[in-house]
Each structure stands twice: as structure tokens, then as C-alpha cells.
Amino acid sequence: MELNSQIKTALAGADKKILLMTHIVLGYPSLDINRQVIAQMAANGVDLIEMQIPFSEPMADGPVIVKANQQAIENGITVRGCLDFAREMTTTHAIPFLFMTYYNILFKFGVEKFLREAKEINIKGFIIPDLPPEEGEEFFVLADKYGIAPIMIFAPTSTAARMQELSRFGRGFIYCAARKGVTGKQTDFDGEFNDYLGRCRANTGLPLAVGFGISRKEDVDYLTGKADIAVIGTKTINLVEEKGIAAVGPFIAGLR
């Protein structure tokens, strides 16, 4: 089943007014801890998981995730290790998994080779923040060939025309960055944000995921009815660092 259909099916459930997507950095602190954290997430109601393949210059990420990328690389994580781990996770857990990374990872590996293997692994989508449609013809053609959803990103600075253009290339859902800047900082929900989310909804027919600074039940409650997916990233990394793996499950369970 394609990602868009999976999202719509999940939203049609009587108990799901908004979906939860979480983010982990593969290899940080280790793949074994990733494995345990994903199990906690899946068991406590996460609907999608975004697995980040570490990159040396993660331009869209804030300090917590940048540090996690750097540490994972220093620990010896490889693209092959990420692919093998992803295969294990998609086999173990019956929820959609996506890859998030930067284009140089695919370019060096071989774009078609990477997408072909991602399809075999049952990866449902890709989030590549540094690949605009104007520079990604090969990727978008191959993503369509292998049935993997390219997730496009709207920003508060995106015009209506730009949103419509991005939506034309997107599949699965649109990732709406809740504010300008990088991940990690708390987002203020105000009239300006509501106007932005209204523009997002008006300029695509795809489901909307909102990320950047989503960290509390209050945030998820606020987004319910306005967006389709709430994305939690930096918060879970901090939680594992500060309170350990066992804190992840109760945190996720308490978000909705």
C-alpha cells in the first residue's frame, strides 16, 4: 500500500484524529538503542517513523540533531549499516518507515541503486531537505519508478505558487516546517502560524505533517484538526539522553 493510502486509512480510524511521526538518528547513541527506542515508539502508538541517515553537514537540523549526526559518524555508522538496520525494522514493525537524509548520501551511493534497495526494504518515503525539484529530476523519476514517496517541505516563507509547485512533485504528505530556521527550538503557535497552515492546506491536496519544535501534548492537541500528522524529533533524543530508553514509551503514549 502506498504511503498516502496508509495515512488516509490510519486517519479514518475512530481513535486517530491526528497521527504521530517520530524521528531518530540512526547510530546515535547506537543501533541497539535505536532498536529499543523504535520498539517503545511502535508499542505506544507512533504511526510513522522517520529514520535519519547521518550526514556530516545536516543543514536543516538544530544543535541536538547535528550533534547526534556527528556522534553517529564518529561511532562508525555507515550507509550500509543504516540500510541493513532499516530492513530489520520494516520487517519487525508494521508501520510505515521513511528515510530522511541529504542528497549527497544518495548521490555517492548511486541514486537508482539506493532507491531500488529502499523499495526492497519497504521504505515508504524520503525526506531530502537539500533537494529542490529543479535539481532533482533523476531522483523524482526514480522515486516514481520504485513507488517511494518524495516528501516535499513547505516553509513559512513559501509563496502559494511555490507550494503548488512543490506539491506537484510530492507524494504521501507535505512536511510543513512550523517556523523558519532549524529543528529543535520550541515553536510558538499564534495567528501568523495559523495563517501559514491555512496557506499550506489551500495549496495542496496531500495530508499535512507539522514539525520543528513539536514536543508536548499541548502542541499535538493544538495541531489536531489543523494538521494530519505531528512530528516529534529533538524531544525524544533529549529524553533518551536525560532519562533513558524507558522514558520514551510513556512520553509517546501521553501525547494523544
Which H or E run contains 196?
Answer: helix 191-202
**What is the DSSP code (8-state) at residue 209?**
E
Map grid coordinates 531530502 to a residue.
Answer: 128
Query: Quick one: what percent of the chain has pLDDT higher than 90?
Result: 83
Query: What is the residue type of 221?
Result: D
pLDDT of residue 182: 45
pLDDT digits (tens, 9 = 90+) for 51-69: 999 998 877 777 889 999 9
Share the mean pLDDT of the chain.
93
From the candidates 15, 47, 50, 165, which is the catalytic residue?
A: 50
Q: Cβ neighbours of residue 221 under 8 Å, at least 6 residues apart? A: none
Q: Please check whether residue 199 is in contact with residue 180, taking contact to mean a CB–CB distance below 8 angstroms.
A: no
Q: DSSP secondary structure string, 85-149?
A: HHHHHHHH--S-EEEE--HHHHHHH-HHHHHHHHHHHT--EEE-TT--GGG-HHHHHHHHHHT-E
Which residues form the domain of 211?
3-253
Q: What are phi and psi of 195, to 5 degrees?
A: -60, -45
Mean pLDDT over 161-188 rounds to 80
Global pTM value: 0.93
Name the residue among 158, 162, 175, 149 with its Cα closest to residue 227: 175
Residue pair 219/189 in contact (Cβ under 8 Å)? The answer is yes
> What does the block give as the cell for 24?
531518530
Q: Is a pLDDT exceeding 80 seen at residue 1?
A: no
- Find the mean pLDDT for residues 201-225: 94
Give the total residue count for the chain.
Answer: 256
* Whether residue 173 has pLDDT greater than 90: yes
Phi and psi torsions of 60, nearest 5°:
-90, -5
3-state secondary structure 39-96: HHHHHCCCCEEEEECCCCCCCCCCHHHHHHHHHHHHCCCCHHHHHHHHHHHHHHCCCC
CA distances from 171 to 3, 98, 124, 156, 212 (A): 8, 12, 10, 20, 20
Tens digits of residue pLDDT in 81-119: 999 999 999 999 999 999 999 999 999 999 999 999 999
Predicted pLDDT of residue 179: 56
The answer to whether 61 is a known catalytic residue is: yes
Give the model confidence (pLDDT) of 15-53 as tens digits: 789 999 999 999 999 999 999 999 999 999 999 999 999
CATH number, domain with residue 157: 3.20.20.70
Q: Is the predicted pLDDT of residue 168 greater than 60, yes or no? A: yes
Q: Burial-class residue 228 by CB neighbours within 10 Å (0-12, 13-18, 19+).
A: buried
Q: What is the pLDDT of residue 16?
A: 82
pLDDT of residue 33: 97
Please pick, among 47, 61, 219, 228, the residue that the annotation labels catalytic.
61
> Which of 39-43, 197-201, 233-237 is predicted least confidently?
233-237
How many structural domains does the chain have? Answer: 1
How many C-beta neighbours within 10 Å does residue 71 have? 16
At residue 211, the pLDDT reads 92
Find out whether 207 and 173 touch, Cβ atoms under 8 Å.
Answer: yes
The pLDDT assigned to 187 comes to 53
Does the pLDDT at position 184 exceed 50? no
State yes or no: pLDDT of 253 exceeds 60.
yes
The yes-or-no answer on residue 228 being catalytic is no
Closest by CA position to 49, among listed 84, 89, 15, 81: 89
